[in-house]
Structure 1
Amino acid sequence: MNAMTRRVAVGTIAVSIAITMAACGKAGDKKDDSGSASSGGGNKSIGLLLPENATTRYEKFDKPLIEAKIKELCADCTVAYDNAAADPQKQAQQVQTMITKGVKVLIVDPQDSAAIKTSVQSAVDAGIKVVAYDRLAEGPISAYVSYDNEKVGELQGQALLDAMGPAATPSSKIVMIDGDPADPNAAMFKAGAHKILDGKVDIAYEQSGLWKDTVANQKVTAAITQLGAKNIKGVYSANDGMAGGIATALKGAGINVPLTGQDAELAGLQRILVGTQTSTIYKAYKPEADATAEIAVDLLQGKDIKSVATTTATSASGQTVPALLIGATSVTKANIASTVIKDGLFTKADLCTGEFAKACAAAGIN
């Protein structure tokens, strides 16, 4: 399993980052065919590579937030974007395309943090500064921005115990569906959850769901067959996408037990409202995106990044890099209104459609 050692403890409340910076560049820089400024070393191009589009956050939140903040900080910067669609080989090809385009800074959220090491080295050899976003890539990266991912796992584990209540005993059987082992964050979520759950409940079945709802559904269906429906007292799901497939499997077996998640996806929040999921983890995307954009522009301008990257992280390949680790919040039916709706992640109109209107009213979402 990949793991990361933190040097500084990070709180559990989402960090609000205020970033102020003068716009970079000069007017009149000529552009090459890729849209990058290319006049006399004035290239102000930044690449952005995200890992997949099955999880709604990347296209809906991360991409537009990062692009907007880069433009705010550097009016004449250009952003070249691509998505790996969960294919690490495709992402490696995308890194090579960014090198060919001549980007000066590359923000990459690796689909496979180990497999991308060679690509990161190639980018650095070409003079590109690489920023690891959300997942810690191996190789000579310049900075890393993410959440305190082991703490996220702890929050998930505690949310499951809280939802189980008196049923949370050392003999109570639960199912754990972890994320993709190629994602270093998955190992940290798992480690944090185990820290809370071990000894408190019986983890009777544990498998990876590969961040896919279909795989998670298959794994939980197998767990039900193996353990018996009436013997399962709770399910840990590492994210909301997998929780959707799990909820379907549980419903098909006539089971309604506590179920965790992560990412505060709209479908996950709606399941929480109607009681087929009990919790999720809200990780404010804007602070992460804003900090990453600021670091990218600072690197482009040759400025010190330590005012943003205030701690360090060590990758599985042993490299210690400047980092910012942001806190997260556990969300249940009781605090949907005071978290994701209050922060504008979703509106009441988004959440309370059709069949969910009555559940919204019952939860005090007016």
Structure 2
Amino acid sequence: MVAGLLAGVLAVSLAGCTEDGGQGDDALTVGLLLPSRAVPRWEQSDKPLIEKRVKELCSDCTVMYANAENDAASQRQQMNSMITSGVSVLILDVVDPGALRSSVRAAAREGIPVLAYDRLAEGPISGFVSFDGGQVGRLQGQALLKGMGARADGGGVVMMNGDPSSPNSAWYEGGARSVLRDRVRTLKSYNTLGWRTENAHDHMSAAISDLGPNQIDGVLAANDSIAAGVVSALKSARISPLPPVTGQDADLSAVRRIVEGEQYMTVYKPFRQETEAAAAMAVALAHGNDLAALVTTRVDSPTTKEVPARLLDPVSVTQDNIRTTLVRDGVYTIDQICPPQLRSACTRIGLIR
């Protein structure tokens, strides 16, 4: 699979270049639209990695960037502005697929291909790259059952889902429920608008108040920002020991919570794989090339059938494999994960030897 991607990238790189190494046509502009700053990965990982890889593949290409701050109207305005400016291709991590559908159609009318990134957009998109959301949810569900131990059969869990405006939210939830439905009781289920920590905190506080502190055996938190609010509410209620709490995105703060034993797991999505695939697909589309060599499957959106897609594999991370996943891949160093106040905890779980 990796060899196929590299071969496709090479083909893309050569397709738009002249013999002297320059681009065979006018310099191209890649529009990059990310959804928010609430999830640290967008600004800290995805943006710089995409910019770097686009430049490696297309030396004359530039990246025009905008962040929607989780506001669909702002993202629509940003996207329309990029269309007006004449970008060559758009990489769109959509805040709300329905709200951006008209802008995707406007791009198509102008001959600008749209690559849906991380979340499946609606309208005539030309490609999609993401991690398998169903597998993300399954990994969370499996880890939660393991963390619950003897309470995994018949125990009570709280579902802290993502923002329903995101198509990934239902994807994650469906995967998790497919694992949990025959094993545990769902005591409460919440949607977390904006994936915001403070909203998750409020929901978890309400669940504790309604259910009592001793009825919650586990919490399925859709991502690490939500997990932060869940853990904060549990600690505020003085619940000890904390029930296992899942997460996603491998935020540094979440990895530190895992080290401390406050969060049970996170889902690591090797961002470099996703950003490299997106950059290769975007450059190919900008040059009018086919995506066949760069995709592995096809998916259907509510509006478009058979969208060329590349779905990547996520990885479950607990205390047991932080070193062999996040540290090995260079996401974080031991020193980043283990500040002075966590040195003893890191030693206890084998991160410091």
TM-score, with structure 2 as normaliser: 0.93
Q: Is 1:347–2:333 an aligned residue pair?
A: yes
Letter in 2 for 1:182: S
Deviation digits for residues 79-138 of structure 1 (CA, Å, limit 9, x no counterpart): 101100100000000011101211010000001112111110011111101000000000
Q: Is 1:270–2:256 an aligned residue pair?
A: yes
1:72 CA displacement: 0.4
**Paired-residue identity, %:** 43
Among 13, 30, 33, the alignment partner of 1:22 is 13
Residues 186-335 of structure 1 correspond to what in structure 2 (within 5 A)?
Answer: 186-210=169-193, 211-255=195-239, 256-335=242-321
Residues 76/308 of structure 1: CA separation in 2 closer, same or farther (3 Å cut): same
1:364 CA displacement: 1.1
Counterpart Cα distance in 1 of 2:27 and 2:113: 13
Among 134, 145, 162, the alignment partner of 1:150 is 134
Determine if contact 2:4/2:293 at 8 Å carries over to the other structure: no
| Partner in structure 2 of residue 70 of structure 1 | 54
Letter in 1 for 2:330: G
Q: Is 1:166–2:157 an aligned residue pair?
A: no
Counterpart Cα distance in 1 of 2:63 and 2:5: 22
Secondary structure of the 1:180 match is coil
Determine if contact 2:129/2:278 at 8 Å carries over to the other structure: yes
Determine if contact 2:28/2:61 at 8 Å carries over to the other structure: yes
Among 103, 108, 114, the alignment partner of 1:119 is 103
Q: What number of residue pairs does the alignment pair up?
A: 344
Structure 2: 5+ residue stretches without partners: none
Residues 332/16 of structure 1: CA separation in 2 closer, same or farther (3 Å cut): farther
Counterpart Cα distance in 2 of 1:43 and 1:59: 25
Counterpart Cα distance in 1 of 2:132 and 2:5: 15
| Partner in structure 2 of residue 4 of structure 1 | none
Counterpart Cα distance in 2 of 1:262 and 1:66: 20
1:295 CA displacement: 0.7
Counterpart Cα distance in 1 of 2:3 and 2:168: 19
Secondary structure of the 2:13 match is coil
Deviation digits for residues 306-348 of structure 1 (CA, Å, limit 9, x no counterpart): 1111201111224330000000111000100110011001111
Letter in 1 for 2:176: A
Deviation digits for residues 226-271 of structure 1 (CA, Å, limit 9, x no counterpart): 1111111111100001111110100111221100000011000000
| Partner in structure 2 of residue 32 of structure 1 | none
1:354 CA displacement: 2.0
Secondary structure of the 1:161 match is helix
Determine if contact 1:258/1:277 at 8 Å carries over to the other structure: yes
| Partner in structure 2 of residue 176 of structure 1 | 159
Determine if contact 2:162/2:192 at 8 Å carries over to the other structure: yes
Counterpart Cα distance in 1 of 2:192 and 2:119: 18
Counterpart Cα distance in 2 of 1:314 and 1:338: 35
Among 74, 80, 88, the alignment partner of 1:96 is 80
Counterpart Cα distance in 2 of 1:16 and 1:229: 51
Residues 354-365 of structure 1 correspond to what in structure 2 (within 5 A)?
Answer: 354-365=340-351
Secondary structure of the 1:231 match is coil
Letter in 1 for 2:327: I
Secondary structure of the 2:309 match is strand
TM-score, with structure 1 as normaliser: 0.90
Determine if contact 1:15/1:287 at 8 Å carries over to the other structure: no
Deviation digits for residues 172-198 of structure 1 (CA, Å, limit 9, x no counterpart): 111010000110011000000000000
CA RMSD of aligned residues (A): 2.0
Residues 188/107 of structure 1: CA separation in 2 closer, same or farther (3 Å cut): same
Residues 184/101 of structure 1: CA separation in 2 closer, same or farther (3 Å cut): same
